[in-house]
Amino acid sequence: MVTTRVYRPTLAAFRFCLAAASLGMLANPSHLLAQQDGRAAGNAARKPNIIFILADDLGYGDLGCYGQKMIKTPHLDKLASEGMRFTQCYAGSTVCAPSRSALMTGQHTGHTRIRGNARHPLKPEDFTVAEVLKSAGYQTAVMGKWGLGEAGSTGAPTRKGFDEFFGYLNQRHAHNYFPTHLWRNEQKVPLRNEVPNEDSEGSGVAVRRIDYSHDLIAREALDFLDRHRDRPFFLYFAVTIPHANNEAKGQGMEVPSDEPYTRETWPQPERNKAAMITRLDADVGKLMGKLNELKIDEQTIVFFSSDNGPHREGGNDPKFFDSSGPLRGIKRDLYEGGIRVPMIVRWPGKIKAGTVNPHVWAFWDFLPTAAEIAGVQPPKGADGTSALPTLLGRQQSTHAALYWEFHERGFKQAVRMGNWKGIRLAQGQPLELFDLKTDIGETKNLAAQHPEIVASIEAYLQTARTESELWPVKQ
C-alpha cells in the first residue's frame, strides 16, 4: 500500500490552544447559536454541555425508532422524537477498540493508532476529543468501557484528557458484568462478586453475583451530572450493554433480571438481551430526567450510538430480533450490518425535533463536531468533518469517501464513495461493489457492470491508509 500522510500534530501547538483557551482567546460558537435563537450574543455565556452515550454491540434494528417490534425502548424512541435520527451514520469499526479509537481521535481505521482489539495504548501524540474539550474549559469524564489503554500506560483515560474515569479499562474485562473489581481512574475498586476462574485481565464467570457493573456505571454518570451542573462538561457514557460475556458461552447475556420479558416464550438468551436493552433505555431516561431536574436540559446536546453491529455471542442469535434490520451482516463484518449504527442527537431549541436525516457521516466526525460546538479548533490531521451544520439545519459538506480496515482473520477493507460501497474481503481478492441507494441489503455485486467505479475505489485505496507497525497488512 502507498502511504501519503502521517497524523503528527505538534504538542507545542496544542499546548498553545490550551493556554489560549484559558485566556479567552478562542472563539465561542455559542454566540452564533444564540443569534440563531434571536438572542443577543452576550447572553449565551456558557458553552453547551456534551454527552455521548455509546452502547456496545447494539444493532441498527434493535431500537423501536429504527423498526424494532419486540424490544421496548420508549426513552430512546422519545429521544429520537425530540431530536434528529440519522439513517446513514457509521461506527469507527466493526469491533470495539478501533471503533472507540476512531471516535476519540477523529481518525478512521487507516490512520488511528488502535486498529484492532489488541491491548495497545494510545500515545501522547494521539489527541482525543477529551483533550480538545479540556482546552475549551470543559470538565470531562468517561463512565463505562474505555479499551484504549491500561492503568499506568500512556493511553489511560486520565492521561488522555479525562478528569474522571469509572468502569473497565480493557474490553476483555468488560465481558464480565459481575466482576471482582472496576477501575476509578487508575485504582481498582473492589466489588462483592466472586469469580473463581478470573483471568489476569479480570474476565471470567461469576458464581456470586451482587454488584451489576452496568448499574454502578450508570449511577456514576448521574453523579457526575450532579457534581458538574454549574460548568460546561463532556460526559462519555460508554455502557457495556448489550455485549455478551463470551467466557460464559451460551449463558453470556448477563443481566440481574429478564423483566419485563420473563413471561415471553423466547429462548432465555433472547429474553436476557431484550432485558439488557430495556435496562439501558431506562437509564437513558434517568439521565434525561436528571438534565431536566438540574435545569440544564436546553444547555446540553446528547448523542446516542453503538460501537458496531449486533453480535452472535452469549447464546444470542441476531436474527431473532432482526437486530441488523434491513442490513446485511453483523459485528466483524464490513457489510452495512457490521458498521452502520443508530445515531440520535438531541439539543432542545437547536436541533429540529422529530427529524430523520440521511446525512452520511462516521465516528471520526464527532471530534470536529464537538470542537466546533465548544469553539476550538481540532488538531490538524483529523479525518473527520464537523456535522454541526447538519444538526442545525444548515448546508453541510459531504465526505468524498469513508474508509474502514479490519485486521481479524486476514485484512479486509471497505469504502463508501457516494452511494457506492466497495468491499475487499482479503488481500488479492477483487472488490465487491454495491449500490446502497437501490440495494441497502448489499445483495447484488455490481463490480462487473461498473469497472469505472471499481477503478475509482481502487485508486482511493492506494492513498487511504498509513502503514502501522502494530497492524501490518497480512498478505
Q: Which residue has the higher pLDDT, 1 or 60?
A: 60
Q: Strand ranges (DSSP E) for 220-347? A: 233-238, 300-306, 340-346
Q: Which residue has the higher pLDDT, 38 or 255?
A: 255
- Name the percent of the chain lying above pLDDT 70: 91
276 with 244: CB under 8 angstroms? Answer: no
pLDDT value of residue 98: 98
Could you give the angle at which helices 268-293 and 213-227 cross, rounded to 10 degrees? 10
**Close Cβ partners of 291 (under 8 Å, ≥ 6 residues apart):** 225, 297, 300, 302
Degrees to nearest 5, angle at CA 53 with 62 and 390: 90
C-alpha cell at 390: 447538519
Q: How many CB atoms lie within 10 A of CB 82?
A: 16
Which residue has 455485486 as its cell numbers?
445
Angstrom distance (rounded) from CA 460 to CA 208: 53
- Look at 41-55, 125-139, 255-269, 449-463 and tell me which has the smallest mean pLDDT: 41-55
pLDDT value of residue 475: 67
pLDDT tens sequence across 58-84? 999 999 999 999 999 999 999 999 999
Q: How far is CA 225 from CA 228, 297, 300, in A?
A: 5, 11, 11
Confidence bin at 45 (pLDDT 50/70/90): confident
Would the pLDDT of 356 be above 90? yes
Q: Residue 74, exposed/middle/buried by CB under 10 A (0-12, 13-18, 19+)?
A: middle
pLDDT value of residue 41: 36
- CATH (one of 3.40.50.10110, 3.20.20.140, 3.90.700.10, 3.40.720.10) for 11-400: 3.40.720.10
Tally DSSP H helices, then E strands, for the chain. 11, 15
Residues in the chain, overall count: 475
**Close Cβ partners of 432 (under 8 Å, ≥ 6 residues apart):** 422, 423, 424, 425, 442, 445, 447
Dihedral of the CA atoms 150, 152, 154, 157 (nearest 10)? 60
C-alpha cell at 131: 483533550
pLDDT tens sequence across 127-138? 999 999 999 999
Mean pLDDT across the stretch 23-45? 39
C-alpha cell at 198: 478470573
Would the pLDDT of 43 be above 80? no
Handedness of CA 178, 214, 365, 148 (dihedral sign): negative
Q: Which residue has the higher pLDDT, 119 or 3?
A: 119
Angstrom distance (rounded) from CA 88 to CA 86: 6
C-alpha cell at 134: 479540556
Handedness of CA 199, 203, 205, 208 (dihedral sign): positive
Confidence bin at 9 (pLDDT 50/70/90): very low
Would the pLDDT of 441 be above 60? yes
Angstrom distance (rounded) from CA 337 to CA 140: 32
SS3 state at 228: coil
Q: What is the CA radius of gyration of the chain?
A: 21
Mean pLDDT across the stretch 271-278? 98
C-alpha cell at 377: 479548533
pLDDT value of residue 18: 42
156 with 149: CB under 8 angstroms? Answer: yes
Would you give the distance in Å from CA 411 to the centre of its chain?
22
242-279 b/e with 16+ CB inside 10 Å = b? bbbbebbeeebbbbbebeebeeeebeebbbbbbbbbbb
C-alpha cell at 426: 482479503
Dihedrals φ, ψ of 454, to 5°? -60, -40
> Domain 404-461 classified CATH 3.90.1150.10?
no
Residue 49 pairs in a beta bridge with 300
Confidence bin at 100 (pLDDT 50/70/90): very high
pLDDT value of residue 474: 78
pLDDT tens sequence across 302-321? 999 999 999 999 999 999 99
Angstrom distance (rounded) from CA 115 to CA 100: 10
Would the pLDDT of 374 be above 70? yes
Domain extents in the chain = 11-400, 404-461
pLDDT value of residue 36: 38
**Close Cβ partners of 15 (under 8 Å, ≥ 6 residues apart):** none
Instruction: Give me the chain's average pLDDT, please.
Output: 92
